[in-house]
């Protein structure tokens, strides 16, 4: 029996040992698993730490990028606004807008100055109204504060020494700031001061760049505006001067016209008055010469013939004066009909043959093929040829040559009367067509003239819409040119 | 007439003109001189004292509620500057508003009860469907205000409270009621009648790392977590970067990596932003965290936040049995404004696409959010939260 109980106890103890052995083994295994789970948990936690720190860095970068993008966006808007005006005040008016805050600053102050003069506050943003004027006064009374910036240096709380930082943060009541010069090509035009008070704003080097870009844009716009202002004022001044001068010239022209009309009227009146007695003088002299009143001694006849001749000269002078006066005032009736120039030249040549033969002068002509007819007053143009060819004969020595050349193009005919005469000096050519002007030379001293011939020729040619000019070489010869338009003209009624 | 809604928005640099343009634009769509409710949001660039009286006059002196905001949510954009007005006229929906000024000087629980009484007294016995409140987001003790509101309201009434915000300077915010813009006050709106309301809230953050247990608290202060000073949690993960938490709500750690507090018996987390760190390592949160609560660092990205917004919008749509709402209100946490950055526009576009074109939509970014949708008071989430997008659709 004892053996049975002993065996039973043995079995029971054995089973208990087995049970507890397994139990403790399980507990040990569980502990090991727990340690492993705990370890894995720790590893996961360590990874979570890494993830969080990486995420924080990424977010900081993203925030900086967002801030930069917002700043660039704001810069773009500002740039468009200020570059579309050329008025300086308008530039600052457009800058004084709340979107400056999108640049990432709570406070803005923009100061300008000219030629080292005092600062003027042009833009203020984020400052209480009653603080703006005192700020301007502070900077003006202590110009040394902004002197480095005026010299083109950028100062910011990121890099400035503590004493300078304290000055700016104290004056502007900010924690962080930037002071940037506004530059043009030549000099500093102003200063931008931007700052932040709040802890939530953190300034970076990117902010310095953004403000520097803004300063550049403002500088360009200001320079353009000032240049425009300068140019505008100059052009206004010029306009005013031109207007004044135009007024003066108009007055002078009116005066000249008035004088010219007075002169023409005078000449016309005097000429008319002179012609009547001259006609009587010539008439009586002619009657006396005929002997109808009684026999005339030879010496008396000679003198009467001189009276006749001089009277004729006077009448000729008066007629020329009257013609010039009438042509000037448009009172000559020009009859424009188609004529050919060669036939007119031939007529004139015939008329002047005796004078040509007296001096053995050879007269030649040279005409273009298919010369068109020209609308002209044939009588007046004949007078032109008579005048020019007569002058050529007068100033060409014996056995010289006179050539009449006529060329044409689609719009005009050009006539040239060239001689191998004594020529005309340069200084005389300019005055040749002036009334009463006679070149000083031996021939003119000996041959009387009125000095009206070329003036009349010029008037007649210009009345036809043409031009007249002369080229000459002393001791070689002279050539007179004139043009006549080929198109039809309307005959002018007598005024 | 069913419900007509008009939205007006202006960015005119002249404050009065901006208010006028926004109000007139909104009213134009109503095709009526009558306006039942105007919701107004404006950014700090526009002095509220000038904005609100102008809008009140143009809206024929109707009920106005609203707040200052860093950005305004509109169907076509998220505007960083401007004045926006949503004008509503409806024969089916009943609105009533109320306000309590000078909250700082008052007992907030009492003030909450006073707010409810002043709002509901004019509402009458019609069926109430939603109680909405805007309080000054910079005030302390908003939980007490909510307590007071809850005590006065019937428990089965859904409730949303948001805190008005400014431009991240956390200096002064405004709340709008009728022709007045106030600070340190609260304004409220009750909606009811023949209407359906869909409400959803999401935040898009996920827990990361080991969960920890909060073992010592003092109101909104978390004193220790897992037997160590509370700030050690952030120090462990972020090293020296955790020092930035002392800067307050502007610290990136505060809004990007909030604390997630797990609701008991659920996988959902409510968020607490760390607003600062005391010398002993205690974390300052917007509102209390219960002792013994499980907490995690939370992480999210633009994609997860976008997904959250989409989920919220789809949820609202489902609650409205897939019908197009008459109007949609969006209340985004101010931290999401920072989180989404330039992606905020994409979020609104996503929401708009879910509701469909032509649905009038307006929203704001707010400090603090409280919401209660459940009819069972025992399942109330812990009071004030943050970091969420709340979408309300009204049909």
pLDDT at A96: 67
Tens-level pLDDT at each residue, chain B (395 residues):
689 999 999 988 788 999 999 999 999 988 888 999 999 999 988 999 999 999 999 999 999 999 999 999 999 889 888 999 999 999 999 999 999 999 888 899 999 999 998 888 877 767 888 999 999 988 877 888 888 888 888 666 788 999 999 877 778 899 999 999 999 999 999 999 888 999 998 988 999 988 999 999 998 899 999 999 999 999 999 999 999 888 777 788 888 899 998 877 777 888 888 888 998 899 998 777 888 889 999 999 888 999 999 999 999 999 999 889 999 999 998 888 778 777 788 899 999 999 998 899 999 999 878 877 655 555 555 556 778 899 999 98
Mean pLDDT of A463-490: 90
Distance from CA of A58 to the nearest CA of B (A): 10
Read off the pLDDT of residues A104-120 as tens digits, 9 standing for 90 and up. Answer: 788 889 999 887 788 88
Read off the pLDDT of residues A297-355 as tens digits, 9 standing for 90 and up. Answer: 888 888 888 888 888 888 877 887 777 777 776 666 778 888 999 999 999 999 899 88
Q: Considering only CB atoms, which chain A residues are within 8 Å of B208?
A: 48, 51-52
Would you say B69 and B48 are in contact if contact means Cβ atoms under 8 Å apart?
no
Task: Say yes or no: B30 and B126 in one domain.
Answer: yes
Distance CA A173, CA A337 (A): 96
Task: Say yes or no: B147 and B170 in one domain.
Answer: yes
Task: Say yes or no: B15 and B148 in one domain.
Answer: yes
User: Does A312 or A99 have the greater pLDDT score?
Assistant: A312
Which of B262, B297, B332 terminates a domain? The answer is B297
Mean pLDDT of A372-384: 90
Residues of the domain holding B324: 3-202+305-394
Percentage of chain A beyond pLDDT 90 is 33
Architecture of A337-485 per CATH?
2-Layer Sandwich (3.30)
Task: Say yes or no: B170 and B86 in one domain.
Answer: yes
pLDDT at A97: 63
Residue B161 is assigned to a structural domain of this protein: yes
Which of B279, B297, B315 terminates a domain? The answer is B297
Which of B253, B271, B297 terminates a domain? The answer is B297
Q: Which residues contact B169 (CB under 8 A, 6 or more apart)?
A: A198, A200
The total number of structural domains that make up chain B: 2
Of A48, A51, A98, the CB nearest to B45: A98
Residue B207 is assigned to a structural domain of this protein: no
Backbone angles phi, psi at A376, to 5 degrees: -155, 165
Task: Say yes or no: B130 and B154 in one domain.
Answer: yes
Task: Say yes or no: B282 and B323 in one domain.
Answer: no
Complex ipTM tops 0.90: no
Residue B209 is assigned to a structural domain of this protein: no
Q: Do B13 and A62 touch (CB under 8 A)?
A: no
Distance CA B177, CA B133 (A): 11
Supply the mean pLDDT for chain A.
87
Residue B158 is assigned to a structural domain of this protein: yes
- DSSP, res A200: T
Task: Say yes or no: B245 and B151 in one domain.
Answer: no
Task: Say yes or no: B182 and B320 in one domain.
Answer: yes
Helix (H, G, I), strand (E, B) or coil at B83: strand
Distance CA A393, CA A355 (A): 7
Residue with tokens 């370890």: A39
Percentage of chain A beyond pLDDT 70 is 95
The first and second tokens of residue A32, run together, are 């090991």
Confidence of residue A132 (pLDDT cuts 50, 70, 90): confident
User: Does A405 or B378 have the greater pLDDT score?
Assistant: A405
* Residue-range domain boundaries for chain A: 82-225, 337-485
Q: Do B208 and A200 touch (CB under 8 A)?
A: no
Chain A residues touching chain B at CB-CB below 8 Å: 41, 44-45, 48-49, 51-53, 55-56, 59-60, 62-63, 66, 69-70, 97-99, 102, 198-200
C-alpha separations of A81 from A89, A191, A300, B10 in Å: 13, 19, 103, 20
Backbone angles phi, psi at A8, to 5 degrees: -60, -50
Mean pLDDT of A116-140: 86
Q: Do A45 and B341 touch (CB under 8 A)?
A: no
Task: Say yes or no: B126 and B173 in one domain.
Answer: yes
Residue B208 is assigned to a structural domain of this protein: no
Tell me which CATH code domain A82-225 carries: 3.30.450.40
Task: Say yes or no: B72 and B181 in one domain.
Answer: yes
Task: Say yes or no: B129 and B13 in one domain.
Answer: yes
Please count the CA atoms within 13 angstroms of the CA of A373 that sit on its side-chain side.
12
Task: Say yes or no: B82 and B231 in one domain.
Answer: no
Helix (H, G, I), strand (E, B) or coil at A98: helix
């Amino acid at each position: 029996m004892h053996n049975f109980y002993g065996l039973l106890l043995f079995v029971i103890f054995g089973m208990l040992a087995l049970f507890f052995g397994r139990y403790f083994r399980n507990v040990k295994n569980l502990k090991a698993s727990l340690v492993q789970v705990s370890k894995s948990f720790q590893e996961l936690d360590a990874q979570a730490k890494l993830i969080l720190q990486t995420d924080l860095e990424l977010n900081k970068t993203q925030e900086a990028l967002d801030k930069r993008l917002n700043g660039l966006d704001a810069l773009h808007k500002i740039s468009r606004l200020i570059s579309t005006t050329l008025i300086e005040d308008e530039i600052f008016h457009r800058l004084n807008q709340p979107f400056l805050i999108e640049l990432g600053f709570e406070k803005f102050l923009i100061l300008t100055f000219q030629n080292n003069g005092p600062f003027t506050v042009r833009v203020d943003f984020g400052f209480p109204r009653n603080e703006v004027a005192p700020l301007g006064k502070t900077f003006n009374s202590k110009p040394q504060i902004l002197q480095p910036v005026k010299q083109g240096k950028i100062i910011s709380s990121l890099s400035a020494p503590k004493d300078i930082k304290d000055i700016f943060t104290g004056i502007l009541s900010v924690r962080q700031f930037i002071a940037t010069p506004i530059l043009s090509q030549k000099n500093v035009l102003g200063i931008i001061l931007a700052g932040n008070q709040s802890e939530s704003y953190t300034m970076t080097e990117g902010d310095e760049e953004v403000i520097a870009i803004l300063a550049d844009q403002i500088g360009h716009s200001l320079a353009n505006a000032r240049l425009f202002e300068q140019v505008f004022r100059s052009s206004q001044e010029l306009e005013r001067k031109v207007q004044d001068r135009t007024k003066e010239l108009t007055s002078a022209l009116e005066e000249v016209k008035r004088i010219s009309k007075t002169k023409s009227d005078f000449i016309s009146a005097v000429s008319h008055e002179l012609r009547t007695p001259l006609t009587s003088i010539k008439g009586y002299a002619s009657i006396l010469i005929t002997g109808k009143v009684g026999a005339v001694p030879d010496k008396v006849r000679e003198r009467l013939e001189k009276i006749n001749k001089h009277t004729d000269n006077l009448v000729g002078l008066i007629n020329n004066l009257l013609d010039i006066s009438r042509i000037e005032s448009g009172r000559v009736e020009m009859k424009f009909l188609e004529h050919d120039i060669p036939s007119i030249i031939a007529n004139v040549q015939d008329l002047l043959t005796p004078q040509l033969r007296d001096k053995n002068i050879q007269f030649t002509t040279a005409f273009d093929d298919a010369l068109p007819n020209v609308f002209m007053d044939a009588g007046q143009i004949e007078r032109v040829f008579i005048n020019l060819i007569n002058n050529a004969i007068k100033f060409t020595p014996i056995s010289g040559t006179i050539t009449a050349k006529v060329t044409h193009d689609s719009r005009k005919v050009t006539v040239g009367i060239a001689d191998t005469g004594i020529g005309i000096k340069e200084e005389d050519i300019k005055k040749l067509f002036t009334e009463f002007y006679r070149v000083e030379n031996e021939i003119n001293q000996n041959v009387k003239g009125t000095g009206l011939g070329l003036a009349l020729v010029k008037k007649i040619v210009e009345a036809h819409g043409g031009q007249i000019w002369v080229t000459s070489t002393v001791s070689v010869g002279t050539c007179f040119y004139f043009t006549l338009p080929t198109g039809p003209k309307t005959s002018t009624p007598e005024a | 007439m069913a419900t007509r809604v008009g939205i007006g928005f202006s960015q005119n640099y002249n404050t009065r003109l901006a208010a006028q343009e926004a109000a007139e634009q909104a009213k134009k769509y109503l095709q009526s001189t009558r306006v039942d409710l105007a919701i107004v949001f404006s950014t700090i660039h526009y002095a509220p004292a000038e904005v609100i009286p102008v809008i009140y006059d143009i809206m024929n002196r109707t009920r106005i509620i609203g707040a200052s905001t860093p950005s305004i949510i509109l169907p076509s954009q998220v505007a960083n500057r401007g004045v926006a007005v949503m004008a509503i006229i409806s024969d089916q929906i009943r609105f009533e508003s109320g306000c309590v000024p000078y909250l700082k000087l008052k007992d907030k629980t009492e003030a909450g009860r006073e707010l409810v009484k002043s709002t509901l007294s004019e509402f009458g016995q019609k069926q109430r469907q939603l109680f909405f409140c805007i309080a000054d987001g910079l005030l302390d003790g908003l939980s007490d205000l909510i307590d007071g509101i809850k005590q006065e309201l019937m428990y089965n009434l859904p409730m949303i409270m948001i805190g008005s915000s400014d431009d991240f300077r956390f200096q002064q915010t405004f709340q709008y009621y009728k022709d007045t813009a106030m600070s340190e006050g609260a304004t409220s709106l009750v909606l009811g009648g023949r209407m359906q309301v869909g409400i959803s809230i999401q935040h898009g953050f996920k827990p990361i790392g080991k969960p920890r247990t909060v073992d010592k608290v003092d109101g909104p202060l978390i004193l220790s977590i897992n037997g160590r000073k509370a700030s050690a949690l952030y120090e462990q993960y972020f090293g020296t970067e955790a020092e930035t938490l002392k800067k307050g709500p502007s610290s990136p750690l505060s809004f990007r990596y909030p604390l997630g507090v797990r609701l008991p018996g659920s996988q959902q987390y409510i968020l607490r932003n760390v607003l600062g760190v005391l010398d002993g390592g205690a974390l300052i949160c917007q509102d209390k965290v219960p002792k013994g609560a499980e907490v995690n660092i939370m992480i999210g990205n633009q994609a997860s936040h976008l997904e959250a917004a989409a989920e919220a919008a789809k949820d609202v749509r489902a609650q409205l049995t897939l019908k197009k709402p008459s109007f949609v209100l969006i209340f985004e946490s101010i931290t999401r404004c920072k989180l989404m950055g330039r992606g905020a526009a994409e979020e609104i576009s996503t929401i708009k696409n879910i509701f469909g074109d032509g649905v009038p939509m307006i929203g704001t970014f707010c400090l603090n959010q409280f919401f209660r949708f459940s009819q069972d008071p025992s399942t109330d989430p812990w009071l004030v939260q943050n970091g969420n997008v709340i979408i309300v659709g009204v049909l």
